[in-house]
Structure 1
Amino acid sequence: MESGPAIFAGTAFTLFGAGLLVWTAARVRHRAPVAHGVDPTAAAVFATAFGAVLLALGVWCFGRV
């Protein structure tokens, strides 16, 4: 019964992390701002780092199942 929450959390983290990475890559590729009012390089690095952390956290949750 404890695998249900781990599957839900893993799915949520993985989808959000992957979506953030894809969105950031699309914004950078089109040379559009990732975040308004922030240095473009810092915003891209920050968003990419958080996307990778969330993706890794989702994979870790799936590993706990």
Structure 2
Amino acid sequence: MESGPEAFAGAAFALFGAGLLLWTGARVRVGAPVAEGAGRAVGVATGVGFGTLFLATGCWLLGAL
């Protein structure tokens, strides 16, 4: 009963993190800006950093089930 919200949160975090990493990679590949108004290196670092953080959190939550 208590694992339902944890599974939902884990799946949401993991999907968002994976999507953010894929989106950042696609933007870098075509040479488009990752974040509007930020430098290229800052945008890529922020996207990769937060994508990895969200993906790791989702995997941690799903692994705790």
Please classify the TM superposition score into its range, dividing by the shorter chain length.
Answer: over 0.9
**Structure 2: how far apart are the matches of 1:64 and 1:53?**
17
Task: Point out 4+ residue stretches in structure 1 off by more than 2 angstroms.
Answer: none
Structure 2: gaps spanning 5 or more residues: none
* Number of aligned residues: 65
The residue identity in structure 1 corresponding to 2:52 is A
Q: Deviations over 1:19-62 (max 9, x none)?
A: 00000000000010001110011110111000000000000000
**Structure 2: how far apart are the matches of 1:18 and 1:63?**
16
Q: Percent sequence identity over matched residues?
A: 54
Give the aligned CA root-mean-square deviation in angstroms. 0.5
Structure 1: gaps spanning 5 or more residues: none
The residue identity in structure 1 corresponding to 2:44 is A
TM-score, normalisation: structure 2: 0.97
